Structure 1
Amino acid sequence: MSNKKQLVLDAFNNKATERVPVGFWFHFAENELGSSYEVPAYRQQNLEGHKKFVKEFQPDFVKLMSDGYFFEPETAKFLKGIKSAEDLFNLKPISENDKWILDQVSLVKELTNDFGKDLFTAYNVFAPATAFKWGVGGDKKLAELIKENQDAVFYALSVISQNTQVLAKAVIKEGHADGIYLSVQSIQDVSVGPDLYSEVISPSEIAVLTAASSVGGTNILHVCGYEGAKNNLSNFKNYPAKVINFASVVEGVSLKDGKKIFKNKAVIGGFANTKEGLLYKGSREDIQAETKKLLADAGKTGIILGADCTVPKDIDWQRLEWVREAAK
């Protein structure tokens, strides 16, 4: 096992390390929300972007991006066409040999064949609720559907979860990723509080992590604060993931306090991910001072420095290196 892979796994397991690992990621496709089936160039941009980043920046580990394959096309089409919550009972799971799954497995396999022996890799997977709300038109619509027919929403999420479980297991077993990076987010509507979230949403997410773990995955849970979305972190404190990446800046929760919430699991974060943040626009001196401040507060065990979410794709990679320099 390479030194970097062992370094990261030790940090994930709360072991003492010679230095604190650093992990940042960004999208590689021109339009990450677009479909590779509509614009095949997105797939090649994704592949080439990963390889260039690994070769030139030599990261400590890699989050493998799912640009071009965010959501299963037929499920998304079905969700866009529903007229009522009752229609959700007509949603069916896709085949285990569906092209959407096989294409992602081959994407992951090409990347892990290139650098997976040397670096820890985790493949980006969106939670069923995220796929659901993207399909139906947002958090407010999801909340309305839960109010209309909670059982129908629970059923639809279980179907999407089945598809996602198949994907998670396949990218680990056949694509040789070391695990998945599951992106979850509290529903951004006050009507879906912690109890309702735990009852309706959480089972579909926990099932994905459990499936990934069943085939040997070392999995990262991402509690997404993208564009300022707020999360009830306690909703996720018992999720079966090895490592937690939460939006420490957006949530106003330090890495040290995050470790307490997540029962001393390893955590990733510390920096804002926006173009207004220190990482994107600050000086070398300020970025490195913040790095040292973060480690002075959180300690160096079970800490991986990173950002709230994906950083802007045009960020100067040298800025990421400044963090790694200071973390040494």
Structure 2
Amino acid sequence: MDRRKFLALAPLGAGALIAGRSALAAAPANKRERMLQWLAGKTDPNYTPAAFFLHFGPQYKTGSAAARRHMEYFRATDMDFVKIQFEQTYDRQPNLNTPADWANLKLQKLDFYEAQLQTVRDLVRDAKKDALILMTLYSPYMCAGHCATAPLLHKHLEENPEAVKRGMEILTESQMLFVRACIKAGVDGFYMSTQGSEAKQFSTPKVFANYVKPFDLVAMKEISSSCPFNILHVCDYNAPYSGYEATLDYPGQVVNCNPKLIGKQLALPEIAKMFKRPFMGGLDRHNLLAAATPQQLNEEVQRVVKSAPPQFILGADCTVAGDTDWKRLRQIIDAAHHSGQKA
């Protein structure tokens, strides 16, 4: 029978059933499709995406063991995308005693990152069909801190930033080898971390503007042109911020930062408006409602979601403690998935 004739003859219940089936057919098939729809602005008023990140034990840092642990965590928490922890950090370089020593920094080539790239390849193989895959990326400035310790790097940048600049160039060149290898392996984007613009970090903002930010942007701009899902993470792990003006023009489809500034608390819609993109966060990584009952958890998630802009991902302001109970994170994520506060 012609479908139009059937609808004309059918009772209202049958028409509603067909409409319901059409809506069901339009539902996302998996987390990958759901997040791609979300990135396109097609938000579900009854479902808030959520994700939390943590470092795993020493036996799960890199290689296939790390990939398996990431998959266990992804499935256990039911988070909405896979975010790979970056564990191939630089070792302390004992020869960095003066600003001039940065010119002799060793360029780490692609083989240095092989164990980390094995994690990437395994996760792309095992998870990409169902979820978006993001790789964590520390900025060259953060990597320089690993090489020299953060206080020594800061001292050298204050004394002679032009000399330190050569080291930043070397670190950026190495980073680009890793970034391009990750893109070739099939990642969908990066969780791009930046530090250096915290309050009172340098004696003048020009140090960040001239010797940190330009090196941040090399990888970030290439990533932005190659990958559909990138999160800008303005990291307050070392120190708090008085404002985010220095990073507002950084690339990234989503921003993740701490709403708490020195002397001020930003509303979540205010952050989204300021950065002109969706916001991820809303929960304090130092607390994460560890002692809350399931009912209190649900109420807090409802409160945060209700205060957030429509295009929003529930998460923490940074990586949570490694011993955080996965079941507790699953409860928080489940509450976000059933929030229904933006109808």
TM-score band by shorter chain is 0.7 to 0.9
Q: Please give the residue correspondences for 1:1-328 in structure 2 after superposition, counting only pairs within 5 Å.
A: 2-18=29-45, 19-30=47-58, 43=63, 45-67=65-87, 69-71=88-90, 73=91, 76-77=92-93, 80-91=94-105, 93-95=107-109, 98-138=110-150, 140-174=151-185, 176-186=186-196, 189-216=200-227, 218-226=229-237, 229-230=240-241, 232-249=243-260, 252-263=265-276, 265-274=277-286, 277-301=287-311, 303-327=312-336, 328=338
> 3-state SS of the aligned residue for 1:81?
coil
Q: Is the 8 A contact 2:157 2:207 kept in 1?
A: no
Deviation at 1:193, TM superposition (A): 4.2
CA change 1:104–1:192 in 2 (3 A) is farther
Q: Which deviates further from its counterpart, 285-294 or 124-133?
A: 285-294
> 3-state SS of the aligned residue for 2:137?
strand
In structure 1, C-alpha distance between the alignment counterparts of 2:296 and 2:117, rounded to whole Å = 41
CA change 1:313–1:45 in 2 (3 A) is farther
In structure 2, C-alpha distance between the alignment counterparts of 1:52 and 1:237, rounded to whole Å = 35
Using structure 1 for the length normalisation, give the TM-score.
Answer: 0.84
CA change 1:305–1:104 in 2 (3 A) is same
Q: Is the 8 A contact 1:271 1:307 kept in 2?
A: yes
> 3-state SS of the aligned residue for 1:279?
coil
Q: Which runs of 5+ in 1 are unaligned?
A: 37-41
In structure 2, C-alpha distance between the alignment counterparts of 1:110 and 1:64, rounded to whole Å = 11
1:131-183: per-residue Cα shift (whole Å, max 9, x none)? 11222121x32222122211122221122112112211211212x11111111
Structure-2 residue corresponding to 1:39: none
Higher alpha-carbon Rg: 2
Deviation at 1:305, TM superposition (A): 0.2
**Matched letter for residue 83 of structure 1:** N
Deviation at 1:43, TM superposition (A): 4.2
What percentage of residue pairs aligned between the two structures are identical?
A: 25
CA change 1:225–1:279 in 2 (3 A) is farther
In structure 2, C-alpha distance between the alignment counterparts of 1:288 and 1:199, rounded to whole Å = 45
**RMSD between superposed Cα atoms in Å:** 2.4
In structure 1, C-alpha distance between the alignment counterparts of 2:333 and 2:201, rounded to whole Å = 39
**Matched letter for residue 311 of structure 1:** V
**Matched letter for residue 185 of structure 1:** Q
In structure 2, C-alpha distance between the alignment counterparts of 1:51 and 1:311, rounded to whole Å = 18
Q: Is the 8 A contact 1:143 1:192 kept in 2?
A: no
Deviation at 1:249, TM superposition (A): 4.6
**Matched letter for residue 313 of structure 1:** G
1:195-240: per-residue Cα shift (whole Å, max 9, x none)? 3312210010111111223433532111112265436422111001
Q: Is the 8 A contact 2:63 2:117 kept in 1?
A: no
In structure 1, C-alpha distance between the alignment counterparts of 2:240 and 2:279, rounded to whole Å = 19
In structure 2, C-alpha distance between the alignment counterparts of 1:104 and 1:235, rounded to whole Å = 30
Q: Is the 8 A contact 1:268 1:304 kept in 2?
A: yes
In structure 1, C-alpha distance between the alignment counterparts of 2:247 and 2:324, rounded to whole Å = 30
Deviation at 1:266, TM superposition (A): 1.4
Aligned length: 306
1:96-153: per-residue Cα shift (whole Å, max 9, x none)? xx31233322220111111121011111111110111222121x32222122211122
Q: Which runs of 5+ in 2 are unaligned?
A: 1-27, 339-343
1:273-308: per-residue Cα shift (whole Å, max 9, x none)? 12xx1433322222222211112222322x000001
Deviation at 1:64, TM superposition (A): 0.8
In structure 2, C-alpha distance between the alignment counterparts of 1:86 and 1:228, rounded to whole Å = 27
**Matched letter for residue 279 of structure 1:** L
> 3-state SS of the aligned residue for 1:100?
helix
**Matched letter for residue 327 of structure 2:** Q
> 3-state SS of the aligned residue for 1:63?
strand
Q: Which deviates further from its counterpart, 111-120 or 318-327?
A: 318-327
